[in-house]
Amino acid sequence: MTREPVVVPDKTDPRWRELVAGTRKFQLESLAARMLVTRLRLRTLRGDPESIDAAITAAWEFFSRNELTTQADVRTLFGESP
């Protein structure tokens, strides 16, 4: 049985903030995704809105650009139907 592709949710989805701020922990499969999330979390340590917004944009762009290869991670982050 093949799964339907998961669509990357819009940047306004609050789960992006949880991802980049580190308020929720996720087990990501992709090494590239894990490295990106670690880097973005370091950028948002100060908690200023500009850094968080920039990190959300970077994460969204990464997952959107790599939608086919990051399907498992998108499911982990957003579930089957974001």
- The answer to whether 34 touches 28, Cβ cutoff 8 Å, is yes
What is the Rg, in whole angstroms, of the alpha carbon atoms belonging to the chain?
12
Per-residue pLDDT in tens (0 to 9) along the chain, 82 residues: 567 778 899 999 999 999 999 998 899 999 999 999 999 999 999 999 999 999 999 999 999 999 989 999 999 999 864 3
The structure tokens 């340590």 sit at 45
pTM for this structure?
0.88
